[in-house]
A = this chain, B = another copy of it.
Amino acid sequence: MATIKDIAKHVKLDISTVSRALNESPRVKESTKKYIKRVANKLGYQKNDIARGLATKKTNTIGLLISDISNPFFAELTKGVEYEANKKGYSVILCNSNWDPKKERDSIDVLKGKRVDGLLIHASMGLTGIYKKEYKDDKIPEVFLGNFFDHKDYDEFYYVSIDNIKAAHETTSYLISLGHRRIAHITGNITKDNKGYNILIDRLNGYKLALEEAGIKYNNDLILETSPGISSSCNITKEFIKEHKYVTAIFASCDIMALGVYKAIFDLGLKIPLDISVAGFDDIEISSLLNPKLTTYEQPKFEMGSAATKILLDLINGNKPEKKGLILKSNGLIKRESCKFLEH
């Protein structure tokens, strides 16, 4: 593969001139620039970002650490990240932890080893605590996507999120306004695992708040915790419904879990919303294709990705935003068909 040295030999100019020409330096004659480029082309020259990275200490690459690319929420978010990054000439290395704490931690090392210019992190439990101790010193710019360690860290890290408490509050209140009082909430393993699930904790708190306002006593038995996948959500919901027949509504902390709930209810021969109302969170594209269409709280997924990336690139280029946190606007609760008025 041709290098600038090869080009230099061909055009009988110095390697440094070639470098400048290829980088559009103004301090090189237009004609020689053209000439050099033509030769470069002819030799099939391709820039070597590795060598350049070593010299400039920049890779024009950012790392994206998420939990599950199969979840359309993350897929959309990833698109937002890629869009914004590519627009500014950056590539993104994707790391999927698959909800595996060890993989999550390892990924950070891999990414740092590759000298990414910045990190975009949707943390799950893997990073809790440990992260802060280990990496606090040699910090590279990083922005968190909603989820990070602990609420205490809200003013220590950059992040992009929506107001999850408000969102869950609104959704739960809607269910209550329909007459529901026995409302279950299905969420991630927020108590079993470490912390690090602050967005889910926020949603749980929003749920609690709505209950409290309505004078409904919070019941811990109505909280289902499992990993955020369709089948795990389905299984736990099935068990749950069998033992808690009196529940009339289920609020899922993400649409993927709502899908599992749907499947569980169908499998048990029950009907949505006739027997049980279901509300979700995220508004992934297929939510409106389900039958019945899922009522869910929208998250600006693509925008979360692009906004976080924008901040990260600012950070990389030395521009610190005034506030650490960016709370995005949501389209709110999308009322569709999966929740109905509770008749007695």
Contact = CB atoms under 8 A, between A and B. Distances in A.
Q: Taking the full assembly, how many copies of this chain does it contain? A: 2
20 contacts: A44-B137, A46-B112, A48-B113, A49-B114, A50-B54, A50-B59, A50-B114, A54-B54, A61-B93, A61-B114, A69-B78, A70-B72, A72-B72, A78-B94, A91-B93, A91-B95, A91-B111, A93-B94, A259-B286, A263-B288
A93 B96 contact: no
A126 B126 CA distance: 39
Contacts of A266: 291
8 closest A-B pairs by CB? A291-B291, A94-B94, A50-B53, A70-B75, A49-B113, A49-B114, A50-B115, A69-B75
A280 to B, nearest CB: 13
A165 interface: no
A91 B114 contact: yes
Contacts of A98: 79
A5 interface: no
A46 B111 CA distance: 11
B93 A44 contact: no
Interface residues of A, number: 49
Interface string A66-87: 0001101001101100100010
A39 interface: no
B109 A46 contact: yes
Interface of A: 1, 44, 46-51, 53-54, 59, 61, 69-70, 72, 75-76, 78-79, 82, 86, 91-96, 98, 103, 109-115, 137-138, 230, 259, 262-263, 266, 285-286, 288-291
A110 B59 CA distance: 12
Contacts of A262: 289
Contacts of A290: 289-291
A157 B86 CA distance: 28
A49 B115 contact: yes
A317 to B, nearest CB: 19
Nearest to A301: B70
Given A48-B113, A93-B91, A285-B230, A70 B79 contact: yes
A79 B54 contact: no
Contacts of A137: 44
Contact of A92 (B94, B230, B259): B94
